[in-house]
Every structure is written in C-alpha cells, then in structure tokens.
Structure 1
Amino acid sequence: MTASARRIALVLGASGGIGGAMARRLRDAGWTVRALKRGLASESEQRDGLLWLRGDALDAMDVQRAAQGCEVIVHAVNPPGYRRWSEWVLPMLDNTLAAARARGATVVLPGTVYNYGPDALPHPGEDAPQRPVTRKGAIRVEMERRLRQGAERGEFRAIVLRAGDFFGPDAANNWFSQGLVTPGKPVTRIQQPGRDGVGHQWAYLPDVAAAMAALIERRERLPAFARFHFAGHWDADGRQMAEAIRRVVRARSGVAPRIGRFPWWAVRLGAPVVPLFRELAEMRYLWRKPLRMDGARLAAELVRDGGVPHTPLDAAVERTLESLGCLPVGESTGAGADARRAFS
C-alpha cells in the first residue's frame, strides 16, 4: 500500500490504555494514525509510528483539524483519573461527533458496564435497558444516546464495544493496577476487591483493540449504530484473577503473594472529600453482584476473521505485570512470550 493510499484514523486518548492499544493496533494494520496530545513541544511529531499533533480534545477546532481526511475516529479519551467527568466528558464527545459529521467518519467508542444498573444484572444483552444508578453511568448512557441519534440520522456511523474492567500493558488507570497490585513494586500482597463467589468480567487491552480493529474493517457491513459485548476473561468465583497474579509472580520470583481484601472501609471514609473514592464507592455494586456480558454477537460477526481475539489469562497477566514493573527482570515463564508472538 502506497503512502498516498494509506487509510487515516484519529485516536483521541492515545496516551491512555485502550487508546494507546488501539493506536498501535491500527498502525500495525497499515493505517496512518494521528493522535492528539496536549502540551506537545511542536505542532506535530512522528513517534512510535504515530503522528502526534498538539491539541486538546476539549477544543473543537483542534479536533476538526486533526480529523481532516480521517475515515475513523476512535474516541478513547477520558478526563484524568475520575476528575471533572460531569464537565468534560460530553463536550469532548460532542467535538468528536462534530468532526465525524463533517467528514462522514465512523466513530468508535470503547464502552463499559457502567451503563447498567443493578436491575440489568447478571446477564445484560447489548440492547438491554440502561438504568444506571451512578453519575458516571448516566454520562455513559448519554454518550451512547448521542452516538445512536447521529447514526440514525445518517450523520456518521458508530461502533460501541463494551467490555469489563481493563488490564494490560501501558494501562495505569484501572482496577488491576490501582487496586490489585501497586505499579513499580514487587507483588507481595494482592488486594481482592470482590467477594468470594461473586464473578467479575475482565478485558485484556490488546484483545479488545484487536476486536475493535476487526470491527472497523467491517464497518460498512455493520448497522449504522452497532453495539457489541466483549466477553474477555470471566472470573467465575471472584478469585481467579488474584490466583493468576499469584501463579505468575511465584513462577518468576519463587514467592507466592498473599491474597487479602481491598480496603473498602478506607474508600467509604474518604468518599466525602476525595472524588476518586466517591466514584469507587458508587461502583461497588459491580463487585458485590456478578455482571457477565455475553460475547455471542461479536463472535458471530468475527467468525470469518478468525474469531474473537483471546489471550490466555496467565499470559495476559504476565505481560501486564511486566509492563507495570511488578516482576523481577529475567526470563519469562513462556506465557507472556506466547502472548507477544500472537500480537506481533
């Protein structure tokens, strides 16, 4: 494919976990990938095979300029941490939708389970009613409503892929790296957020990105507003993720970490004054009751493309811990190497 024929995608949030995974996946599939970044020293710079442009997702003109000539816009940008969601999330999305509307581009949104309230548990389908009980969930519902409205009007196409809690290389703002383990430190203790016996859904970022990229290639054959669920890794008893971390650490260091409880009491105490703790407390119902999304619709769509990408759990955990700096330097157990080959 010549440089002039290369397809162009804009990834908003390429500095983050899922945005970064998507940018790399599209780059490796032959796309020209643009990424918007605040505070860049120059107007643009080529790095890691991506074209980084100085700009802000909150600035409509920055997004419009970056989206020129783009067929796809991946909207994976979020406010840092859990701060200022109510102020920033919808204006950022509106800027993306305006740019997509002007160019007839496809908008791709990494979705979450936050759309669903307790009434939808334990097995919500893609089209299940969305009655969230949290502020963040309500914003997520509104994001999808605006996507659907624009797609049904023929202004752009939209793809939503909902997944469980993310984990994976270069992903820092998630339950794996902020709850179960501590980045940059050897794993001596694993904090389990959920109750024993309560299942939980996890999503390995390279797998999610690969599935999204496959949907992007099929975008013209999908409904104008297409929603899918990503099954990922189902932790049936709430302990399998912690046990996988323990196995990987023991194989690399010879020491098996203890598995303890996440300190929800500290979250409750800090919730009145710490915005992050308040958001975590609101989402606790997802650790008290199981929520498992069925990936049958996605599997049926990707059956001719080799199926839904799925890295074995121990391989995914090892690669994640390596990226977080939680494992001693040395030989891989082999699982992580297998995972790297699968996505090379």
Structure 2
Amino acid sequence: MKKALVFGSTGNFGSSTVKALLESGWRVSVFKRTQSKLNVNDSRIEVIEGDINHTKDISVACEGVDLIVYGINPPYTQWRSNAYQLLDRIVSVVEQKKLHILFPGNVYCLPTSNVAIDEATPLSSQTEKGDIRLAMEQRLKKAATKGARVTIIRAGDFIGGQDQWFNMTFKPTKRGWKMASPHDPQHQHFWSYLPDLCANAISAAEQQHTSFEVFHDVGVVATIDDWKKAFKANDIELTAGRFPWWAITCTSLVVPLFKEVLEMRYLWRSTLVLDGTKLKTTLAHNYLSTSLHKIVGDTLSHQQKPVNSLNVINH
C-alpha cells in the first residue's frame, strides 16, 4: 500500500486530500507541530510530530513516503515572510530524496481572460501575491529538474471546505437564503469543489510518470443567476444583495488582512476561468464533477442546523 505524507492537514486542501487519499486506499501520515491541538480520531492516520522550520524534522517525516501533499497556506498577512520560504524548505527535502509532491496551485499567477485558460498559457502576475505564487511554481519546476516529481493542480476559490470569512457570502433568512454577492450579476466566477478537486488531484498524481505536470481543475463557473437556480433546484429561495466591499475598504486602514483581501478584488471584477480538458482527458471515466445544484444540496444536508452558513470559502 502506498504512503502519503500531508503537510497542512488541517487546512482546506490538506484536510480534503486526506479524505481522498483514505478513500483511494492510501496509507496517510500527517505532519504536525509538537504540542499542537490537532486531534486525529481515525486509526488509519499516522501523526508525525515535528517543527516545519527544521529541515531535519521534515527529512525524517519523509522517510518511506511515496507522495508529499503540500497543503500549507499561511494567512495572507504572512505570505511575504513565510509562503515561499515554507515551500522551499520542504521542496529541498523532496529534491534530495527524489520524491513526488502534489501542490495546489491557484489563479493568482495567470492573466485574466475572456476565454478559458489552459496549462500552456504563460504565467502572468498582477499582484504581489501573484508574484509569490509564480515564484513558488517556478521553484517546483526547478525541483523537477533535480530529481523530484511534481504535480501542480490549479484551482479557483474553494467550495465545500472549512469556515472562513467568505462564509458571510451566504446566510439563512426566514424565507430562504440570502447571498451577499462580491460581484455583479454578469460576472462568471470560478469555483473548485474540494471533494472533486482533491480526488481528481490524487488520481492525476497516481497516473503521472513524467517529472513535471500541471493540471487545471474544470471547476464550477457560476453567475448570481446560476446560484439562484442551484438553490431553487433544492426548493430553496435565494435572494441576492451586495457584499459590503465598502466596509472592507474602510477597515483595511486598520485591519491588515482586509488590505490583503482588497488586492485580490480584481478576481471578482474580471473573468479568469480555467480550461480543464487535460485533466478530464487524463482521468477519463475516473474524473469526478459535481453539479452546482448538487453541491448546494449536499452542503446544506451536512449542516448540523439549518441556520448554519453555506460552506463557501476563499482560496
């Protein structure tokens, strides 16, 4: 049985990938800080304690591993100081041990476009965070020339993960649900449903024999009307209002996180959709794709109480 080691197992991509690995029959280890509050109730998961800042701890954890899953994503306010550095430390070990690493890419290092973007599109950053993500992808590509095997799967904003501020987008009302839309009615926004994304990512990594591959998630492209139709298909009325960008703008003067969020607002104003033909073709009948109305239904059905927020989160 193949073994995977997951860094960032409590995050959105990491935790969903742990589930996908277990469902695919993998042995799974998760790396955690000593004295951390990570609670693992599944006997199939091995917990390895260590310090992510110590290369020796990382190296020991990687012994006997077939796949490294990189699920680490520091808060926006820590990207300048930590994002690239954390990746570089782990990738250095991956190079040395000639391991396979799975990395969740995003759209920050891609140009906006009125047509779907495929994997051959040249990278193009529009923000400082885009510069960081571009550098991270370049580091991974370099690793592939030094003995590592690299799988990058680029995705949009996540649906179906853990609670984050973006849960404010959907709220229950007495008559149904209300959407505080971050974009105008015409905008087509790109989302990635975590259960599908992570299962497809594992399948792609399992089939890969080359040293470096990039895949784009097909995801879900939705307008406000598409969300309304998806809720209606579940017999729920959805009304739409405006997301309070004005409040984010005002408080960004004193809240550093909101300043970082505003830098990415262009993604709610311009079109950036990925072409996932390569991934669909590679996986063929193993490719998973859940419709938006089923995503809504499944998400709401898993809520413990009907008044909880729909789990829609920002990548």
Alignment of 1:240-251 (within 5 A): 240-245=226-231, 248=234, 250=236
Equivalent position to 1:158, from 150, 153, 164: 150
- Number of aligned residues: 307
- 2:312 corresponding residue in structure 1: none
Partners of 1:238 and 1:111 in 2: how far apart? 25
Alignment of 1:24-173 (within 5 A): 24-40=19-35, 47=42, 49-79=44-74, 81-118=75-112, 120=113, 122-151=115-144, 153-168=145-160, 170-173=161-164
Q: Which runs of 5+ in 1 are unaligned?
A: 1-5, 251-255, 330-344
Tell me if the contact between 1:104 and 1:157 (Cα under 8 Å) persists in the aligned partners. Answer: yes
- When structure 1 is superposed on structure 2, of 205-214 and 188-197 the one drifting more is 188-197
Give the superposition deviation at 1:54.
Answer: 2.2
Provide closer, same or farther for how the CA distance between residues 96 and 41 of structure 1 changes in structure 2, counting only shifts above 3 A. closer
The one-letter code matched in structure 1 to 2:162 is A
The one-letter code matched in structure 2 to 1:227 is V
Q: Per-residue displacement from partner, 1:100-141 (whole Å, max 9, x unpaired)?
A: 1232111110111111244x5543221212221212111110
Partners of 1:77 and 1:186 in 2: how far apart? 39
The one-letter code matched in structure 1 to 2:134 is V
1:311 correspondence with 2:290: yes
Give the superposition deviation at 1:161.
Answer: 0.5
- The alignment's C-alpha RMSD in Å is 2.7
TM-score, length basis structure 1:
0.81
TM-score, length basis structure 2:
0.88
Give the superposition deviation at 1:247.
Answer: 5.1
Alignment of 1:230-309 (within 5 A): 230-235=217-222, 237-245=223-231, 248=234, 250=236, 256-303=237-284, 306-309=285-288
Q: Percent identity?
A: 31
Provide closer, same or farther for how the CA distance between residues 136 and 322 of structure 1 changes in structure 2, counting only shifts above 3 A. farther
Alignment of 1:172-183 (within 5 A): 172-173=163-164, 175=166, 177=167, 179-181=168-170
Tell me if the contact between 2:171 and 2:177 (Cα under 8 Å) persists in the aligned partners. Answer: no
- When structure 1 is superposed on structure 2, of 240-249 and 315-324 the one drifting more is 240-249
Partners of 1:248 and 1:62 in 2: how far apart? 48
Provide closer, same or farther for how the CA distance between residues 288 and 44 of structure 1 changes in structure 2, counting only shifts above 3 A. closer
- The alignment partner of 2:77 has SS state of coil
- Answer 1 or 2: higher relative contact order, Cα 8 Å, separation at least 6: 2
- The alignment partner of 1:292 has SS state of coil
